[in-house]
Amino acid sequence: MDAQYRILFSGNLMPGQELSDVVRRLAKKFRMKEETARDLVLKGGGRVLKQNLSAEEAERYRGAMTAVGLVISIEPQDAAAPQGESLLKAYPESNEVSKQDPRVQLVKPSAQERSESDGDWSTCPKCGAKEVSDLTGVCQACGVVVERYLESHGKSSSGQGAGAAANPYAPPQADLTPPPIGEGDDTLYPPRSVGAGRGWNWIVDAWGLFKQAPGTWVGALLLFYLIVIVLSIVPFVGSLATTILGPMFTAGLIMGAHAQYRGEGFTVSQLFAGISRKPGPLALVGVVYLLFALLIGLVIGGLFFVMIGTSGMMTSGAAMNPADLEAMATAPSVLLPVLFAMLLGIPLAMAMFFAPALVALNDVPVLQAFKLSFMGCLKNILPFLVYGLIAMVLVVLGMLPLMLGLLVVLPVLTIALYTAYRDLFYR
């Protein structure tokens, strides 16, 4: 039988993390009030978050909770082993692992801590085991959510008896159990509508990821723009290559932000992750975008042709002088092609905004990705308006000190594409 593990919250935060930031991310991830999340962070030290896990599952859950900003320890779950035995004692080689990855803190609880922890467990109303964590409200023996079980049987958590009502460690209302493997965080849902203030929060969340690896993000963006500049020098072919490769590089950065969010870190080489992992679908994204852009260009060009034709300048013998050109340029009718360009160009930009992320992270077919991206933007015009206005201000401010501020602004706005994607398409 494979070894089983449990994960525990040490009560500490990751180095450099602020309590307010961790509380906000925890509340967002598990859909709870910030007051509840703060209470859990401050009083949750030594609590078991999940058990009966394989080594791979334990590492997955540790990564998810580490991304929030909590210091998580992994402990072997062996029925034959003493309750207080730690992973460090059971597996001496794990000491080397903890040195390589400081995020994994392997601790041995004291007898007092174990005693206090045992006193915080409640009896499960379904299986009778004393395995209900006060932190999650979930029975670690049978997996039932106690509050929901009691509600389904016409009871309430306060109705379990006087002792339960007076217990200061009664399970909180929020279920803090990490999402099952393959579900939750990475499951794609139809785009939802969020409040206007989320446009600012996307940038704040992006800043949180950026400051974890600022040099790496700056290096990746510099390499990206250097490649684009070099390609643009080549006439015609360079522009075509940039249009097709652009979504592939963008997808690589999004995949890198996704890996960093999951606690796997970010490297400059992830700029090329889209090219190496999903070159075909992402290249098709660029091709489809190019075709739509050409179609819009043809429509606008046709309108200009019709406008010039109706002005009489295309008739034989008509003399075109500077005065006529100036009059045509200032005529109200010249705004018609411009309005059509905006009317068609903005929806195309909306359809393209999340398309690389949908294809790269969730394997959505290309045309369906364009449709979902458009719907996600359409449902969230106000938060995108807030995001756009703040982004413009940041770009202007970033250009003031010899454009050096753009080394921070552009990576943050790039990461914000991923944080917005998580907010709208994940739960």
Residue 291's pLDDT is 93
The predicted structure's pLDDT at residue 181: 37
Out of 186, 211, 237, pick the residue that ends a domain. 186
CATH number of the domain residue 167 falls in: 3.30.1390.10
Query: Are 402 and 360 within one domain?
Result: yes
Together in a domain, 150 and 211: no
Domain span at 214: 198-310+323-425
Domain boundary at 186, 209, 228, which?
186
Of 266, 254, 264, which Cα lies nearest the Cα of 219?
Answer: 266
Residue 25 in any domain: the answer is yes
**How high is the pLDDT of residue 281?**
92
Give the three-state DSSP class for 29: helix
Q: Are residues 168 and 236 in the same domain?
A: no
Return d(Cα 73, Cα 11) in angstroms, integer: 10
Could you tell me if 204 and 182 lie in one domain? no
Structural domain contains residue 316: no
Does residue 346 belong to any structural domain of this protein? Answer: yes
Cα(419)–Cα(260) distance, rounded to whole angstroms?
12
Q: How many domains does the chain have?
A: 2
Q: Indicate if 98 and 214 belong to the same structural domain.
A: no
H-helix or E-strand containing 88? helix 87-90
Based on the fold, state whether residues 70 and 136 are members of the same structural domain.
yes
Considering the domain boundaries, does residue 192 fall inside one? no
Q: Are residues 219 and 96 in the same domain?
A: no
Do 282 and 352 share a structural domain? Answer: yes
As given in the structure block, the two tokens for residue 225 are 């723009």
Predicted confidence pLDDT, tens digits, the chain (427 residues): 577 888 888 888 877 788 888 888 877 776 667 787 787 788 767 777 777 788 777 777 777 777 788 888 888 876 333 333 333 333 333 333 333 334 333 333 444 443 444 434 567 787 777 666 554 566 666 666 676 667 666 654 444 433 334 444 444 444 444 444 334 456 788 899 999 999 999 999 999 999 999 999 999 999 999 999 998 888 888 888 888 999 999 999 999 999 998 888 899 999 999 999 889 999 999 999 999 999 988 888 887 777 766 665 555 555 556 665 565 555 566 667 777 778 888 999 999 999 999 999 988 999 999 999 999 999 999 999 999 999 999 999 998 878 889 999 999 999 999 999 999 998 7
pTM higher than 0.75 for the full model?
A: no
Instruction: Provide the pLDDT for residue 1.
Output: 55
Q: Name the DSSP class of 234.
A: S
Residue 193 lies in a domain: no
Residue whose C-alpha is closest to residue 52's, from 176, 120, 142, 186: 142
Based on the domain organization, do 275 and 156 belong to the same domain? no
The C-alpha atoms of residue 97 and residue 113 are separated, in whole angstroms, by: 25
Residues 6+ apart with CB under 8 A from 288: 366, 367, 370
Chain-centroid distance, C-alpha 194: 15
Task: Assess whether 239 and 280 both reside in one domain.
Answer: yes
144 and 85 in one domain? yes
Which residue, 126, 156, 186, sits at the end of a domain? 186
Structure tokens at 54: 């394989």
